[in-house]
Amino acid sequence: MANLEVQNLAKSYDGKTKVLKDISFAVNNGELVSILGPSGCGKTTTLRIIAGLIPETAGQVLVNGKDITKVPVYKRNFGMVFQSYALFPHMNVFDNVAFGLKMRKFDKNTIKKKVTEMLATTGLSQLAKQFPAQLSGGQQQRVSLARALVTNPELLLMDEPLSNLDAKLRLKMREEIRDLQQKLKMTVLFVTHDQQECFAISDKVLIMKQGRIDQFDTPQNIFHHPRTEYVARFIGYDNFITVTAANRQDDHHIKVGDTVLTTVEPNQNAKVLTIRPENIHLNLADVSENTFTGKIISREYLGQSFKYAIHSAIGDFQVEEARQKMRSSGEEVTLTLPAKHLHPLSE
């Protein structure tokens, strides 16, 4: 497969509103990169420009270092899978998968060999003679995946491919996609608005906000070091402490009310501090650093844990704690925010 580079991509549909604003990123050969962001942030637009389905307003798309921005869609050997399966209803599974090869004028025997192999790879051999209407959603999506892969594309583009499947099937299919991607060493650009889905299967994640890239990194780095409040909120941080220049004491200490909070990461440009709800401890013995008192306002049962809303002199906090220690509304508690989990964010 190939590597993909997107340079300074911009897009406006109406000549006024900028839907994409200077997007640059690269997908290395054999990597699965996800674009994650809420509806309307520009994910599909990015994918469609790369596919050649719509023109860019500015910028370049390069494959293996070659500028393909002006190459028409039918001359780009990219596989595409969309949310809707878009199978041909009057063709059986075999013929649906064979379609791209027929268009490319492969001979009959080669088509038979390639389709048979691809059906086996995607676990569809038994269904070759079935028609789309006879298949489940998951099977139909597997057929569209087989159809996209059978021409041995340089790049696979997937736009919310699992959105029409129920929760259990989504989990299974995302693992299948990841396995197949690793087995075939595919270069994949995968669009989703589902954070867990994209963190589970991606080598890197690109978090998009209103046509810009807010962070592009490995899932681990994003999870542990979100760059902005927007990213942090998107991935489940829900405690934010506002910092002003006057709050800062030195590079690792910020005074909020009467409490001095220590951070391991330097806080020079901090506008806000954030911590995940499961990283705050309640009633921890023998600690004084980053500890203050609060009162439980409400409790939510999450299955393996409880989530508490806690009011304190330095603000309200969400805290998640193992269900073994159920606490009640009105209870006074001490909160400890471990310095290594308290991240300063500059935006």
Where do contacts with ligand ADP occur on this chain (CB under 6 A)? 13, 19, 37, 39-45
Q: Closest distance between ligand ADP and the C-beta of residue 209, in Å?
A: 10
Amino acid occupying residue 171 = L
Question: Cβ–Cβ contacts within 10 Å for residue 310, how many?
Answer: 23
Which residue is nearest to Mg ion, using beta carbons?
44
Residue 44 near Mg ion by CB under 5 A: yes
Task: Compute the least distance from the CB of residue 37 to Mg ion, in Å.
Answer: 9
| Least gap, CB of 194 to ligand ADP (angstroms) | 13
Residue 10's Cβ-count burial label (10 Å; 0-12, 13-18, 19+) is: middle
The alpha carbons of the chain give a radius of gyration, in whole angstroms, of 25
The listed partner (ligand ADP, Mg ion, none) that binds 215, CB under 5 to 8 Å by sort, is none
Report the alpha-carbon distance of residue 78 to residue 152 in Å, rounded.
8
Shortest gap between Cβ of 193 and Mg ion (angstroms)?
8
Which of the choices Mg ion, ligand ADP, none does residue 88 contact, using the CB cut-off of 5 to 8 A by kind? none
Q: SS3 of 267, please?
A: coil
Which amino acid belongs to residue 267? N
Asked whether 304 and 321 are in contact (CB, 8 A), the reply is no
The least CB distance from residue 51 to ligand ADP, in Å, is 12
Shortest Å distance, C-beta 39 to Mg ion: 7
Q: How far apart are CA 193 and CA 209, in angstroms?
A: 12
Nearest to 247 by CA among 280, 277, 273: 273
- Looking at beta carbons only, is 208 or 333 nearer to Mg ion? 208
Q: Which is nearer to ligand ADP, 80 or 333 (CB)?
A: 80
46 binds Mg ion per the rule CB under 5 A:
no
Q: Which partner from the list Mg ion, ligand ADP, none does 138 bind, CB cut-off 5 to 8 Å by kind? A: none
Buried b (16+ CB within 10 A) or exposed e, 42-75: bbbbbbbbbbbeeebeebebbbeeeebbeeeeee
Q: What is the DSSP letter of 226?
A: -
Range list of β-strands (E), 166-286: 188-192, 204-209, 212-217, 239-242, 248-250, 253-256, 259-262, 272-275, 281-282
- Subset of 158-197 contacting Mg ion (CB under 5 A): none
**What, of Mg ion, ligand ADP, none, does residue 42 touch, CB below 5 to 8 Å by kind?**
ligand ADP
Closest to Mg ion by CB, 92 vs 192, is: 192
> Is the Cβ of residue 19 or residue 33 nearer to ligand ADP in the bound state?
19
Region of 35-43, 71-79, 176-184, 330-338 interacting with Mg ion (CB under 5 A): 35-43
Cβ neighbours for 199, distance < 8 A, ≥ 6 positions apart = 205, 219, 222, 223, 235
Question: Residue 198 touches which of Mg ion, ligand ADP, none (CB < 5 to 8 A by kind)?
Answer: none
Nearer to ligand ADP, 40 or 266 (CB): 40
Q: Which is nearer to Mg ion, 37 or 294 (CB)?
A: 37
Return the number of the residue (37 or 219) whose C-beta is nearest Mg ion. 37
Rounded to the nearest whole angstrom, what is the least distance from the CB of residue 158 to ligand ADP in the complex? 12
For the purposes of burial, counting CB atoms within 10 Å of the CB of 136, is it exposed (0-12), middle (13-18) or buried (19 or more)?
Answer: exposed
Which spans of this chain sit near Mg ion (rule: CB under 5 A)? 43-44
